[in-house]
Structure 1
Amino acid sequence: MLKTLQKPLFQNLFNIGLLILVLIPLLVLACYNHPSPVDDYCYIDTVFKYGYFEAMNFYYTGWTGRYFGILMNHSNPLILKWPGGVKLLSFLLILGLAGSLFALVKEVFPKWTRLGALGLVGGLVFLFILKIASIAEAFYWMAAFVTYTVPNALTIYWLVVMMRWYQLPKGGLKNFTSILAGFLVFAVIGCSETNLTIMVLLVAGWWGYQLVINRTWDWFAVFLVAVAAFSCYIFFTSPGNLLRMSGNPEGRNIPFSAMQSIKLLARLSIEWMTRTPLLVFTILWIAVLPKIFVNQQTMRYFSVPLWVAVLAYFGILFVQIFPSYYGIGIEPAPRVINSIYLYFLIGWFYCLAVLVRYFYQQDFWGAKNWYLPPSIKLVLAILILVSALFSQNFRMVYGDWLRGRAAAYDSELKQRYEYIENTPGDRVYVEPLKARPQSLFLDDANPDPKHWWAKCMGGYFGKKEVVLKTNP
């Protein structure tokens, strides 16, 4: 058994098992997902009332500059009166995020087999799901996932496109790749303030790295900077941004925002390091890196100054928190914390690789011969499996699925839709949902007929309001 633990095949299969362990319940739960009364119906109700393009203009001028997020929210399956399409979107989103990580791993480690790449992805996704702040906001609430999870996946694909561009010979394919990279910059920036700051930092940072460190005038990087500048102009000239930012007196206070961002980042980092098996995976990652660095083609992606990698890492995490404090003076929502955690994990393992690469080249502390005994690997594997049992998210997704809470939620909502459509009159009162699976449920219909959720849901079903019944 201990000898088997030393074989890469066993280690990859173990990590793939972790990937399956977390993906299966998420994909099953997607089959029970439904639009949320929180925002989801409002986008399409606006389309029904004012038309497709005027509805998007209404949001852009009156609420937010998220032009690409507005486009996606107004183009969801509800526009076809197909609530079941939300199930498909969630299903594809989960696979798409895992697929983006797989594409990145394969690009960084081209000599790896698919099994080896899936093994690394398995460890990342397992850690991510174990401590994600809100599973509902990451994968099942449509208004949130199209403006956070989707652009996060697109950002990872953008990294893949960037690395591919520098390997392609001149020609039509390289030109197409340039256009694709520019489009991804435009799309990601237009999704949310969080993703805007990430992409701007990545684009500007790469151009600066080429200019200062590599002493190269990179026209491709200049092109991406121009696309990012144009995208930011469209975003920030939206009248809706000013309306949102004026809602809190602490907004636009730079010292307050910076200090609160650093405090929150420190607290979250400690929590992620101590309440997940991150340190266990860290030990395993450090042990395997010397074997990876035998390949010089792989080492080039980690041959950057450590201070540059750490600065970029801290910057990407910091800029995700700062807009919430600067814009509206409050702590980021769980959907933003989800995004921060994803980049925390990716950056953590990347910075470790940069550090170990330096040790490897200098052969500090015998780095080229680092070895982890099979008995230690066995203990670490057991710790990883035990961590799953203590994970609140792990218990929640399996409980919602296997205990039937998600199926009951799906059944109740289908009955509610039928009742609304068959009930005459402009105002329809609906019973509160009994099944409320935490992984899917965000909020119920609103009891106030004047509330915009009640009006939006009513407009979608051809009524004036859909109102939640309350006890006298």
Structure 2
Amino acid sequence: MIDFYRKYRAVGNWINLLLLGSVMLPLLALSYYNHPSPVDDYCYIDTVFKYGWLEAMNYYYTGWTGRYFGILLNHSNPLLFHWIEGFKVLPVVLLAGTVGALYWLARQLTPTLSRWAHAGFAGVIFFLYLLKIPSVAEAYYWMAAFVTYTVPTLLTLCWIVVVLRWYRLETSLMRWLTALFAGFLLFATIGSSETNLLVIMLLLAGWCGYRVLFQRRWDAFMLGMVVVAVFSCYLFFSAPGNEARLGGNPLSGNVVASALSSFRKLIVLSIEWITRTPLLLFSVVWLLVLSRMAPQARTYFAVPPLYVLLLYVGVLSAQLFPSYYGIGIEPTLRVINCVYFFFLVGWFYLVGVVFHYLAQKRTFAFPPLLYVGVCVVLALLVALSFYRSPQVRMLYTDWLRGGAAAFDREMYARYALIKQTEASEVYLPAIQHRPPSLFVGDIEKSESHWWNKCTAGYFGKQTIHLLEKPTTE
């Protein structure tokens, strides 16, 4: 039985890595064709060129939003150095960071498993994520979106790991350095977006509540994180620019209606993610893995299930709340990206917590035939889900049918035309090929549109006109 289980695990790890590669390959290939978007990417750097780096950030902080860390990253994008190719590098870094953060978290929660198993776990989460991700472009290719959503989401995972590791350190120097790093991650995450602010504040409250209510303990590290969080929230909410968003829509500011809308939306999304992906079967495989782990190896899952469930629902619904409360609209795709990511990570953790709780009351033994049956059914369901996924089909279509490459050529031709035009007014043809995995938006027909003005200002022109509408994708 032990030999059978080892072979099962070894084969399973390789299959999980294969799943990771199946969705990572087109993502990496498409990165080569990525470009800065006229939707906001140019605006940040145009403001820097006009007013200076610090003053430009202050302009956004006082006039639009309190996302101080997101403001910092957006005003430091590769356009600041006239490095268009930087937008091809950043998605690769972000993709590697996503898998790396998942791997690091798996390694912390299940230290007795092999590195291959941890990599396989990261592969499964990422595979499931790409199957139903609402917007690939807003998650990994559009910088104005990913620095305020994807980046802080990954920072949140890293913060969780760093906090857990702090309690295992023995030397005071390493504890001090780790505490400083955890403080920075907390500070950066809170300053990225309202969505991630609520997520990490709930996680912080959940951690403090567990330490005080269940373990009857508190420590200076925990109190230090609370101080950092309070200071960071003060910087965020005291920004004068927040009034521009809260006061811009008469439907904003209704707490009860926003909370109800958030829960309703979460229920709809959860049903979609559970029924339209192989999540349940992967959960069964996860149970098989957990059943082979000693109780001591499941230390991080020894948390009251109801407590984790409440925190899980709170974290997911809280991400939807700002959209309804702040501007009175449905959450954007980039927000749903984050909700789905935390849904997957939290789901597997919750399954582990429930299993550990039940395993303390009875012993679970699964026959070898069950392993084989689960593998066969899972393989069929994974293949079907992969084939039917609109997101996966979109990635491979944009890459292999040349849409992304054509978009890349058109963008370089546009840069050349702007450079060759000596007049202060530039007339640009619309981008004909718009691969949905990369394309977010283009300049508009009105030369007075914000995106046109920002793009013109960045390239040193007075106005930019759009000549025609696109005809193909």
Shift of 1:201: 0.9
Say if 1:231 and 1:4 are closer, same or farther in 2 by CA, change over 3 A.
closer
- Aligned residue among 460, 463, 466 for 1:465: 463
Q: Provide the residue aligned with 1:57 in structure 2.
A: 58
The answer (yes or no) to whether the contact 2:323–2:331 under 8 Å persists in 1 is yes
1:438 partnered with 2:439: no
Normalising by structure 2, report the TM-score. 0.96
SS at structure 1 position matched to 2:464: strand
Q: Provide the residue aligned with 1:29 in structure 2.
A: 30
CA distance in 1 between counterparts of 2:367 and 2:270 reads: 27
The answer (yes or no) to whether the contact 1:152–1:339 under 8 Å persists in 2 is yes
CA distance in 2 between counterparts of 1:378 and 1:317 reads: 32
Shift of 1:405: 0.8
1:320 partnered with 2:319: yes
The answer (yes or no) to whether the contact 2:295–2:356 under 8 Å persists in 1 is no
SS at structure 2 position matched to 1:7: helix
User: 368-377 or 19-28: which moved more?
Assistant: 368-377
The answer (yes or no) to whether the contact 1:290–1:370 under 8 Å persists in 2 is no
Shift of 1:6: 5.6
Q: Provide the residue aligned with 2:390 in structure 1.
A: 392
Shift of 1:465: 2.2
CA distance in 2 between counterparts of 1:266 and 1:309 reads: 18
| Alignment deviations for residues 241-292 of structure 1 (CA, whole Å, 9 cap, x no partner) | 1111111112110111011011100000001111111112122212221112
Q: Provide the residue aligned with 2:338 in structure 1.
A: 339
1:192 partnered with 2:193: yes
The answer (yes or no) to whether the contact 2:110–2:298 under 8 Å persists in 1 is no
CA distance in 2 between counterparts of 1:242 and 1:373 reads: 56
Say if 1:376 and 1:368 are closer, same or farther in 2 by CA, change over 3 A.
closer
CA distance in 2 between counterparts of 1:446 and 1:281 reads: 45
- Which residue identity lines up with residue 10 of structure 2 in the other structure? L
Query: How many residues are aligned here?
Result: 465
SS at structure 2 position matched to 1:247: coil
Q: Provide the residue aligned with 1:306 in structure 2.
A: 305
SS at structure 2 position matched to 1:466: strand
Q: Provide the residue aligned with 2:17 in structure 1.
A: 16
SS at structure 1 position matched to 2:181: helix
- Which residue identity lines up with residue 147 of structure 2 in the other structure? V
CA distance in 2 between counterparts of 1:393 and 1:209 reads: 39
Shift of 1:467: 2.3
Shift of 1:466: 2.1
Shift of 1:50: 0.3
The answer (yes or no) to whether the contact 2:191–2:236 under 8 Å persists in 1 is yes
CA distance in 1 between counterparts of 2:208 and 2:183 reads: 14
Say if 1:436 and 1:5 are closer, same or farther in 2 by CA, change over 3 A.
farther
The answer (yes or no) to whether the contact 2:258–2:321 under 8 Å persists in 1 is yes
User: 458-467 or 148-157: which moved more?
Assistant: 458-467
Structural mapping, 1:40-439, within 5 Å: 40-292=41-293, 294=294, 296=296, 298-363=297-362, 366-369=363-366, 372-439=370-437
SS at structure 1 position matched to 2:465: strand
Shift of 1:170: 3.3
| Alignment deviations for residues 186-231 of structure 1 (CA, whole Å, 9 cap, x no partner) | 0000000001001111112211211111111222111101100000
Normalising by structure 1, report the TM-score. 0.96
The answer (yes or no) to whether the contact 1:207–1:218 under 8 Å persists in 2 is no
CA distance in 1 between counterparts of 2:428 and 2:102 reads: 42
The answer (yes or no) to whether the contact 2:34–2:88 under 8 Å persists in 1 is yes
The answer (yes or no) to whether the contact 2:288–2:366 under 8 Å persists in 1 is no
| Alignment deviations for residues 365-403 of structure 1 (CA, whole Å, 9 cap, x no partner) | x42446624133212112112210000000000111111
**Unmatched runs of 5 consecutive residues or more in structure 2:** none
CA distance in 1 between counterparts of 2:357 and 2:211 reads: 21
Root-mean-square deviation over aligned CA pairs: 1.4
| Alignment deviations for residues 345-366 of structure 1 (CA, whole Å, 9 cap, x no partner) | 0111111111111121111xx4
User: 138-147 or 246-255: which moved more?
Assistant: 246-255
The answer (yes or no) to whether the contact 1:389–1:395 under 8 Å persists in 2 is yes
CA distance in 2 between counterparts of 1:375 and 1:299 reads: 26
CA distance in 2 between counterparts of 1:5 and 1:304 reads: 28
- Which residue identity lines up with residue 301 of structure 1 in the other structure? Y
- Which residue identity lines up with residue 353 of structure 1 in the other structure? G
CA distance in 2 between counterparts of 1:151 and 1:304 reads: 25
User: 459-468 or 340-349: which moved more?
Assistant: 459-468
